[in-house]
Chain A
Amino acid sequence: MTARSAPGGLDVLEGVTTRTSVPVRRRRDFLRELQHDVESLTEELEAEGVAPREARRRARTLLLPDGESLERWTVVHEPPWLRLRRVLEERRLRSIERGAFTAVVALAALIGAGLVRRIEVMGDPSAFLWPVLGTGVLLFAACLYHAVLLWGRGDADSVRRTLWWVLFLCTGTLAVAATGVIADVILLLGQLQQDPGQAARALTAALRRDATLLAIALLQAMGGAVFWLVATQWIAISEDALARALLDSRQSIFKEQTS
């Protein structure tokens, strides 16, 4: 309610869409709210006898946010974690984030290793099991990192640029497991040539080892692939909805400039 400079033109709406620290749904809803309110107020002013162009101009002046209002709106909708940026130094916040991230990944790795040790079929594991589990930990860390970026910070641009890492690690997990199976088969063949009498026992043990290795690798890769699919679809759907809301609101609020 203080004296302000006139709000911007078309760039006001772009300003809403580019506030990446605000969740996409909030940005889309705000555009829709602005569109409806400007349209309705314009209609009311026209009904009172104001010329259409002037009615739209007045509605825009009253309702479209200027830079300061947009900043206040951003603060209201920022996730609590991002609000810490306003009270903590950026460097300190980054180190807290890194610490929390490392702690979660380490905890998940410990829990995973504990569970694997308890499984009965792990009595005679493949030499490639631990490398497969290692890529699994990396895959989990990559998924967690992108989940925080996407749903915690709302930074879809960075996620789009680096999400290929998740697929790369899925492929890596499967490649390590496949290498393990091939190495096991070669070892088994050598064993069978030396001692054909032990064939049945050696074959059973190798099958069990390799099936476990492949199952774990497949589970990890499937988990990563599902995450990749969900993240890419989420970005596509939400950005499409935001782009549509922006287009609609631009055409409606700035009718005379866009027609």
Chain B
Amino acid sequence: MTSDDFDVQGFARDINVVLVLATLQNGQKHGYQIAQDVESESNGLFRFRHGTLYPILHRLEKEGLIEGSWSRQDGGRKKKLYMLTPAGRRHLEGRGRRVNEILDGVNRMLSRPGEAPA
């Protein structure tokens, strides 16, 4: 990997997508549950605050990586649940691998203090 093919903003976006898709692997969830699960499963390292989650969820829904479905609560109010689609599962595998590669690269660098990067 060279500095040319590493896009920092793209990586941050990939992380958000991987986090959302990964939490949906366990089954369908509401938006607030996804935000909570990301925070609790990452021990507070990642947080979707101030509604940052919804543009990501809606974009993934538009791209067909997750599917949103509406249902009615007991009081008649509507609620929206999200679930992972087969395309989303494939996307998660690919992006997950990419994120792991990058993190492995960073870890290798950090574990060799004093050595100049190649």
Q: Do A and B bind?
A: yes
Complex Cα distance, B58 from A40, in Å, reads 20
Interface size for A (C-beta < 8 A) is: 32
Tell me if A69 and B32 are in contact (CB < 8 A). no
- Chain A residues with CB below 8 A from B58, complex form: 30, 73, 76-77
Sorted from nearest, which 3 A-B pairs have the closest CB atoms? A65-B51, A72-B55, A37-B32
Interface of A is mostly: helix
Prevailing SS type, chain B contact patch:
mixed
Q: How far is the CA of A39 from the CA of B30 in the complex (A)?
A: 12
Q: Is B78's beta carbon under 8 Å from chain A?
A: yes
Cα A95 to Cα B55 in complex, Å, equals 31
How many residues on the B side are at the interface (Cβ–Cβ under 8 A)?
A: 25
Query: Any chain B CB within 8 A of the CB of A115?
Result: no
CA distance A1 to B62 in the complex (A): 21
Q: Which residues of B contact A61 (CB under 8 A)?
A: 49-50
What are 10 pairs between A and B in contact, CB < 8 Å? A32-B78, A39-B77, A40-B32, A40-B79, A59-B32, A63-B31, A65-B55, A69-B55, A76-B58, A76-B59
Residues in A lying within 8 Å of B, measured CB to CB: 1, 4, 6-7, 29-30, 32-41, 44, 59, 61-66, 68-70, 72-73, 75-77
Q: Say whether B50 contacts A33, CB under 8 Å.
A: no
B47: Cβ under 8 A from any A Cβ? yes
**Extra pairs beyond A30-B54, A63-B32, A63-B51 (8, CB < 8 Å):** A4-B49, A7-B51, A32-B77, A33-B54, A33-B80, A44-B36, A63-B35, A70-B51
Cα A36 to Cα B32 in complex, Å, equals: 9
The answer to whether B16 has its CB under 8 Å from any CB of chain A is yes
Q: Within residues 33 to 70 of chain B, which ones have a CB less than 8 A from any CB in chain A?
A: 35-36, 46-55, 58-59, 62, 70
Among B35, B59, B77, which residue has its beta carbon within 8 angstroms of that of A35?
Answer: B77
Instruction: State whether A36 and B80 are in contact (beta carbons under 8 Å apart), knowing that A63-B32, A76-B58, A76-B59 are contacts in the complex.
Output: yes
Asked if residues A73 and B80 are in contact (CB atoms below 8 Å), the reply is: no
Given A36-B73, A59-B32, A76-B62, also A69-B78 (CB < 8 A): no
Which of B46, B49, B62 has a CB less than 8 Å from the CB of A62? Answer: B49
**1/0 contact trace for B79-113 toward A, CB 8 Å?**
11000000000000000000000000000000000
Interchain CA distance A73-B60 in the complex, whole Å: 12
With a CB–CB cut-off of 8 A, which chain A residues contact B47? 1
Once bound together, how far apart are the Cα atoms of A72 and B46, in whole Å?
19
Give the residue among A7, A34, A36 with the most B Cβ atoms within 10 A. A36
Give the distance to chain B from A45, nearest Cβ to Cβ, in Å: 10
Q: Which residues of B contact A72 (CB under 8 A)?
A: 52, 55
Q: How far in angstroms is the closest Cβ of chain A from B68?
A: 9
CB < 8 Å neighbour of B32 from A1, A38, A73, A75: A38
Question: Nearest chain A CB to B39's CB is how many angstroms away?
Answer: 9
